[in-house]
Amino acid sequence: MDRRPAARPDQDQDRRVLGKPADRGRAAGFLVRNAVGGRVELFVDANGGYAVGQARRMADALADLGVTWFEEPVSSDDLAGLATVRSSTMVDIAAGEYGYDLAYFARMAPVVDCLQIDVTRCGGYTEWLRAAAVAAAGGLEVSAHCAPNLSAHAGAAIPNFRHIEWFVDHDRIESELFDGCLDPHGGSVTVPSTGAGHGLTFRAEAAEPYTI
């Protein structure tokens, strides 16, 4: 007796539509590229979702679309996998956002093209500067991961700073709870040259509705 479940009438069609991950990535990429045009750089974050072979094939598909940034193509714990993907593509490979000490960044630096540092995870501004120095020693630039209004000031203090990930939900929270937030419209921000520290002032009255 054949115990296999009966195929749905549309099952073969579903498989044709879904295809392999690289095929789906290429199809989605074409849609995005057509929407934004050729003058906008495309960045992709896989959040560690691929195996090494899948990530290599996806990188090929992304390169065809002019993607310049492939973040965490495999798990950030898989240093050998990151190195393998990096060696097989012209797309910049990025990782490091989970780093919490210098040893982590020292291990990560040789297997990426741009080292991500999260100021809220790495140990604050002092460790940010030390991690950025680790990157610089390896000839790498640094990308600030999230917390944009905290990260901008740290980024302005180093010579090998590439860009900030301007995470919309972080920006929304920061703008609601703090005065002195920066305006990213136009694609860049300018850190004020006056005042001390990060320039943010806590708005206690704005936070009051969230107290428990």
Q: What is the DSSP letter of 5?
A: P
Tokens describing residue 158: 């180093």
Angle at 129 between CA 127 and CA 131, to 5 degrees: 65
Mind telling me the catalytic residues? 145
DSSP 34-94: HHH-TTS-EEEE-TT-S-HHHHHHHHHHHHHTTEEEEE-SS-TT-HHHHHHHHHT-SSEEE
Edge-to-edge, what's the strand order for the sheet holding 92-95? 42-45, 67-71, 92-95, 114-117, 141-144, 161-164
> Which ranges constitute the DSSP H helices of 109-185?
124-137, 148-155, 168-177
